[in-house]
């Protein structure tokens, strides 16, 4: 099942930036993310995944489920490519 505690609800941020978010609402986090007055403080603004997440007007359970499916699909694809590139020696 997809809940707020699933991988689909994770946003990639640097540690210090993540700490500053705390348990704020999506709207508060989005406002902070796009607050250009903090340009020298908030380093995660250039992470494409974070821009994608915060570009949403809202973050609903259906968005979490879609993001989870995308993350899992990307992981499976990357794993398959990686696994095929490994030479197994016996």
Look at residues 65, 68, 67, 38 and name the one whose alpha carbon lies nearest to residue 55: 67
Q: What is the pLDDT of residue 61?
A: 92
Region for residue 22 given its phi and psi (left: phi exceeds 0; alpha: psi -120 to 50; beta: otherwise):
left
Look at residues 46, 50, 62, 58 and name the one whose alpha carbon lies nearest to residue 11: 50
Q: What is the pLDDT of residue 15?
A: 82
Indicate whether 37 pLDDT > 60. yes
Indicate whether 45 pLDDT > 90. no
Indicate whether 90 pLDDT > 60. no
CB-based burial of residue 49 (10 Å sphere; 0-12 exposed, 13-18 middle, 19+ buried)? Answer: middle
């Amino acid at each position: 099942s997809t809940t707020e505690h699933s991988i689909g609800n994770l946003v990639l941020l640097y540690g210090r930036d993540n700490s500053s978010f705390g348990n704020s609402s999506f709207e508060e986090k989005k406002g902070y993310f796009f607050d250009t007055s903090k340009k020298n403080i908030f380093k995660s603004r250039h992470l494409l995944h974070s821009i994608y997440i915060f570009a949403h007007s809202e973050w609903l359970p259906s968005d979490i489920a879609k993001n989870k499916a995308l993350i899992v699909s990307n992981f499976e694809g990357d794993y398959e490519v990686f696994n095929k590139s490994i030479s197994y020696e016996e």
